[in-house]
Amino acid sequence: MAFEYAPAPESRSIVDIKPSYGLFIDGEFVDGHGSAFKSINPATEETLAEIAEADAADVDKAVKAARRAFRTWSRMPGKERSKYLYRIARIIQERSRELAVLESIDNGKPIKESRDVDVPIVAAHFFYYAGWADKLEYAGLGANPQPLGVAGQVIPWNFPLLMLAWKVAPALACGNTVVLKPAETTPLTALLFAEICQQADLPAGVVNIVTGAGDTGQAVVSHPDVDKVAFTGSTGVGKAIARAIAGSDKKATLELGGKAANIVFDDAAIDQAVEGIVGGIFFNQGHVCCAGSRLLVQESVADEVMAKLKRRMGTLRVGDPLDKNTDIGAINSAEQLARIRALAEIGEDEGAERWAPPCELPSAGFWFPPTVFTGVSQAHRIARDEVFGPVLSVLTFRTPSEAIEKANNTPYGLSAGVWTEKGSRILHMANELRAGVVWANTFNKFDPASPFGGYKESGYGREGGRQGLSAYLKAGA
Amino acid sequence: MARIDVRKTYKLYIGGAFPRSESGHSYEVQDSKGKFVANAALASRKDVRDAVVAARKAFPGWSSRTAYNRAQILYRIAEVMEDRRAQFVQAVQQSEGGTAAAAGRQVDEAIDRLVWYAGWADKLAQVVGNANPVAGPFFNHSAPEPTGVVGVLAPQSSSLLGLVSVVAPVIVTGNTAVVVSSYSRPLPAVTFSEVMATSDVPGGVVNVLTGDAAPLGPWLAAHMDVNAIDLCGVAGDDELSTALEVAAADNLKRVRRAPAAEPDWSADPALSTMTDFVETKTVWHPIGV
């Protein structure tokens, strides 16, 4: 049975959201010349702030500012650059609760995740790459590696500040300057990060933040004076970017979609595996490119796993993102909710069996209950398409080779999970799974020292670790 | 009366066999002075597809060979080339012109390059992989793995050294390759195929198509079961290389872009010749009792 909890809301008084925000260009907030748009709280649908839209001319100004700043930033000794990044890491730690609350308000994710996962890893990422800035000769590109120049970075709405950190920290450590476009539904923590750059006295133009939607992003990645494109988002947009920069000298890293298999063998510690399945798909409402959205469970334990999984799903608390007891927050946007609903309906139409625990959803805002589909075949859309929501598809297998074949039967290759108590089997599965990250007896773990990125249509390049540096450096002359 | 020599039929190399083009087409190959040497098979779109099928079939076996084994096989290619050095010198001189001594240097460097790459098989992971000290009780390490089937448009000028310089780094890490040879200088590539066929290189690991990169490249670049492509063979042709890069985006192939001009192959290769065609895989496991 589920315990009743009294509401335990985190106070939002720590956050001061302004009625409107401009663009952050050359160290200053300036007006945008596109048509301003609103950022809303997906849990309540209230308008949070009006956000400037950067048009092509605004993006051009930002790129020019970044180019000017590149001359000094790239020549600054690494040990000095590193101190700016350490400062930023420290300010993020100091303002961590403010950032966490703002992230939950703008994105809809539970405060326990923004507070305990997103923001601590953001600070850690800046701290990690700060230490690289004066050690780049050890990055693996030879004695005197050089920054690429101006990086155009476009990030998604699922981990707004964390994706900013993944992009900005290594770029700056390597001596690049950046023009970053946050997602149109979640710009607020990036704009607060701009204030943090000001507090850190980061030289003007090193970080520029241009808000807007797809057109703004396109202006950033296709700008002729952008040397490096870094994108996290959908595979469709990733392909469009790869086409757009064909024939140019732009370098690119693309971190795209996924349809990860989470494989449970009959000898797994089942209770732990169930926790891993739940964390794998319901963490961040399933808005995770590496979510374990395909559960592959060995036939002999399928009934036991499903019974325990359903019991556990019945205890998940869906609701107010700022409530400290909330497990599943709001879906980020009406548009995303419509996509999830459409794919779930297709799942039913194609004959899979849908189940969700009884769960009362708030009347305002965008919500989707934790949902599992059984009787799923590999041909079903819900087994092939990235749902990007709290929807799990369950398939079964008999032998390890069948599990491998099913797990790899996808154009994606971002992540995979394996649950078994047998060490040699873990290592065999880890070898055979065509995915950039394999979590064995764990899932959805992230660390700045650990490279992350995909095989196949999940994109190319790695973020995190020493490997993450080569995305922002070239061999010296 | 002088003995009439027995001439060789130059064929494609697909899946370890030497078929003619399924199209039945061939083209005239001339030496550096414009004199007819032989008819080479003119590979077709269907030959590209057959080669991709062969390369995909060979991938699981080749990529799961031990690194030590792959190293020995690459070294074996070098051994067999050395054994047939005179034949390669003749073929390179015939294709590229110049003196026999110059052709000999090309062959020597090609053999030495294979030896150099052979040694990388069991070292690359130690140089570009690492243990990751994450902030928690986890074993966490990253290592390179082959990306899969790699399309290689081989250089047009350097018929042997250039060819070896783009093929060896692809296969040493466990990828399999579909190679389109130099169009006008394809014969050293065919002889190289014959060496691979007798050097314990499993069939399908390297597939060599003689023919024209311009019509074949788009099929290779757009093929959904090819994971990466090296565009070196269209160096200097901005329009074609851009079109191929656009086609390659259909399944997000890793692309090694075409240089403005064919590079100087005598320079020491960069590590990126190998790392451009590997994926970094990171594995996590909890530590506990």
| Alpha carbon of A112: minimum distance to chain B alpha carbons (Å) | 18
- Residue A412 in contact with partner chain B when CB distance is under 8 A: no
- A–B: how many Cβ contacts below 8 A? 107
By annotation, the residues of A acting in catalysis are 255
CB contact at 8 A, B10 and B186? yes
**Which of B140, B142, B244 to substitute to test the interface with A, most A CBs within 10 Å?**
B142
What the block records as the tokens of A346 is: 């297709």
- Residue A467 in contact with partner chain B when CB distance is under 8 A: yes
User: Which residues in chain B touch residue A239, judged by CB atoms under 8 angstroms apart?
Assistant: 249-250, 252
> Among partner residues A247, A431, A450, which is closest to B282 by beta-carbon distance?
A450
Q: Measure the N-to-C terminal CA separation of chain B; round to a whole number of Å.
A: 86
CB contact at 8 A, A403 and A268? no
User: Which residues in chain B touch residue A460, judged by CB atoms under 8 angstroms apart?
Assistant: 252, 254
CB contact at 8 A, A118 and A162? yes
The pLDDT of residue B289: 86
Domains and CATH numbers, chain B: 39-286 (3.40.605.10)
User: Which residues in chain A touch residue B64, judged by CB atoms under 8 angstroms apart?
Assistant: 431
Burial state string for A383-411 with b = 16 or more CB within 10 A and e = fewer than 16: bebbbbbbbbbbbbbeebeebbebbbebe
Q: What percent of chain A has pLDDT over 90?
A: 98
pLDDT at A3 over 80: no
Q: How far, in Å, CA of A98 to CA of A91, rounded?
A: 11
- Residue A269 in contact with partner chain B when CB distance is under 8 A: no
SS3 A293: coil
- Cross-chain Cβ contact A455/B249 below 8 Å: no
| pTM given for the model | 0.97
- Cross-chain Cβ contact B130/A430 below 8 Å: no
CB contact at 8 A, A352 and A393? yes
**Which of A467, A469, A470, A473 to substitute to test the interface with B, most B CBs within 10 Å?**
A467
Helix (H) or strand (E) holding B282: strand B278-286
Residues in contact with A203: Cβ distance below 8 Å, sequence separation at least 6, in sequence order: A27, A69, A72, A73
pLDDT at A6 over 70: yes
User: Which residues in chain A touch residue B248, judged by CB atoms under 8 angstroms apart?
Assistant: 242, 246
Q: Which residue of B has its CA nearest to A255?
A: B252
Domains and CATH numbers, chain A: 20-256+456-474 (3.40.605.10), 261-440 (3.40.309.10)
| A83-95 mean pLDDT | 98
| A156-185 mean pLDDT | 98
Q: Per residue in A40-65, pLDDT tens? A: 999 999 999 999 999 999 999 999 99
The pLDDT of residue A4: 78
**Strands of the sheet with A20-21, listed across from one edge:** A20-21, A47-51, A37-40
Per-residue tens of pLDDT for chain B, all 289 residues:
899 999 999 999 999 999 999 999 999 999 999 999 999 999 999 999 999 999 999 999 999 999 999 999 999 999 999 999 999 999 999 999 999 999 999 999 999 999 999 999 999 999 999 999 999 999 999 999 999 999 999 999 999 999 999 999 999 999 999 999 999 999 999 999 999 999 999 999 999 999 999 999 999 999 999 999 999 999 999 999 999 999 999 999 999 999 999 999 999 999 999 999 999 999 999 999 8
Burial state string for B204-238 with b = 16 or more CB within 10 A and e = fewer than 16: bbbbbbbbbbbebbbbbbbbeebbbbbbbbbbebe
- Cross-chain Cβ contact B285/A441 below 8 Å: yes
- Cross-chain Cβ contact B283/A455 below 8 Å: no
The pLDDT of residue A284: 97
Look up the ipTM and state it.
0.96
- In which residue are the tokens 């000898």 written? A267
> Among partner residues A246, A451, A457, which is closest to B252 by beta-carbon distance?
A457
Residue type, B218: P
User: Which residues in chain B touch residue A240, judged by CB atoms under 8 angstroms apart?
Assistant: 249
Helix (H) or strand (E) holding A473: strand A473-474
Q: What count of Cα atoms within 13 Å lies in the side-chain half-sphere of residue A221?
A: 28
User: Which residues in chain A touch residue B148, judged by CB atoms under 8 angstroms apart?
Assistant: 456
Q: What percent of chain A has pLDDT over 70?
A: 99
Interface of A with B in 307-326 (CB under 8 A): none
> Among partner residues A246, A411, A438, which is closest to B283 by beta-carbon distance?
A438
- Residue A435 in contact with partner chain B when CB distance is under 8 A: yes
Q: A2 pLDDT band (50/70/90 cuts)?
A: low
SS3 B82: helix
User: Which residues in chain B touch residue A440, judged by CB atoms under 8 angstroms apart?
Assistant: 283-285
> Among partner residues A140, A247, A451, which is closest to B282 by beta-carbon distance?
A451
**Which of A245, A263, A442, A455 to substitute to test the interface with B, most B CBs within 10 Å?**
A455
Q: Which residue of B has its CA nearest to A439?
A: B284
| Alpha carbon of B284: minimum distance to chain A alpha carbons (Å) | 5
pLDDT at A106 over 90: yes
- The whole-chain average pLDDT of chain A stands at 97
Q: How far, in Å, CA of A405 to CA of A385, rounded?
A: 17
User: Which residues in chain A touch residue B134, judged by CB atoms under 8 angstroms apart?
Assistant: 445, 447, 449-450
A181 — phi, psi (to 5°)?
-115, 110
Q: A332 pLDDT band (50/70/90 cuts)?
A: very high
Residues on B contacting A at a C-beta cutoff of 8 Å = 64, 127-128, 130, 132-136, 138, 140, 142, 147-148, 227, 238, 241-243, 245-246, 248-252, 254, 270-272, 275, 279-286
CB contact at 8 A, B45 and B219? yes
Q: A476 pLDDT band (50/70/90 cuts)?
A: confident
CB-neighbour burial class of residue B123 (10 A; exposed 0-12, middle 13-18, buried 19+): exposed
Q: Which residue of A has its CA nearest to B226?
A: A456
